[in-house]
């Protein structure tokens, strides 16, 4: 069992230094999206995508400019406070967009005039 632990530790050391490899992520995750901001009150950030190769996260896309809430980021976000929550979140099996399906592998719903949803968590 010790040799397996040593091999796992050696594999982790071989991963390139990047923000993704410094995060705790579910072992089953194969793709990752990171959003980085220099300060909590900013409305602009840098978005990158990552793909797991073995034990390591490797760059897959970006950096792209991303917009945050009008009041920046918050670790204690509340509905209507104008912030984007910090943390780790699973992306659901349905994706949405304003344009035709760009080729995502999940179910895709193109948003149209008149579409709506209830953001009330109760």
How far is 92 from 105, CA to CA, in rounded Å? 12
Given a cut of 70, whether residue 75 has pLDDT beyond it is: yes
How far is 12 from 6, CA to CA, in rounded Å? 10
Question: Which pTM does this prediction carry?
Answer: 0.72
Q: Where are the domains of the chain?
A: 13-89
Q: What is the pLDDT of residue 104?
A: 85
Given a cut of 70, whether residue 7 has pLDDT beyond it is: no
Tens digits of residue pLDDT in 77-112: 998 999 999 999 888 888 889 999 998 888 999 999
What whole-number percentage of the chain has pLDDT above 90? 69
Range 42-59 average pLDDT:
97
**Residue 98 phi, psi dihedral angles, 5° rounding:** -90, -20
The three-point CA angle 87-91-92 to 5° equals: 135
Range 27-56 average pLDDT:
96
Contacts of 33 (CB under 8 A, 6+ apart): 47, 48, 49, 50, 91
How far is 33 from 15, CA to CA, in rounded Å? 18
- By CB atoms closer than 10 A (0-12, 13-18, 19+), residue 33 is middle
> Quick one: which of 83, 80, 105 has its CA closest to 95?
105
Check residues 62 and 92 and name the one with the higher pLDDT: 62
């Amino acid at each position: 069992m010790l040799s397996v632990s040593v091999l796992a530790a050696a594999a982790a050391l071989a991963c390139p230094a990047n923000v993704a490899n410094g995060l705790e992520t579910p072992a089953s995750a194969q793709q990752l999206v990171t959003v980085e901001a220099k300060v909590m009150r900013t409305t602009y950030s840098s978005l990158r995508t990552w793909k797991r190769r073995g034990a390591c996260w490797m760059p897959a896309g970006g950096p792209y400019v991303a917009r945050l809430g009008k009041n920046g980021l918050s670790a204690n976000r509340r509905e209507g406070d104008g912030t984007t929550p910090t943390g780790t979140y699973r992306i659901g099996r349905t994706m949405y967009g304003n344009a035709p399906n760009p080729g995502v592998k999940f179910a895709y719903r193109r948003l149209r005039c008149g579409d709506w949803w209830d953001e009330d968590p109760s």
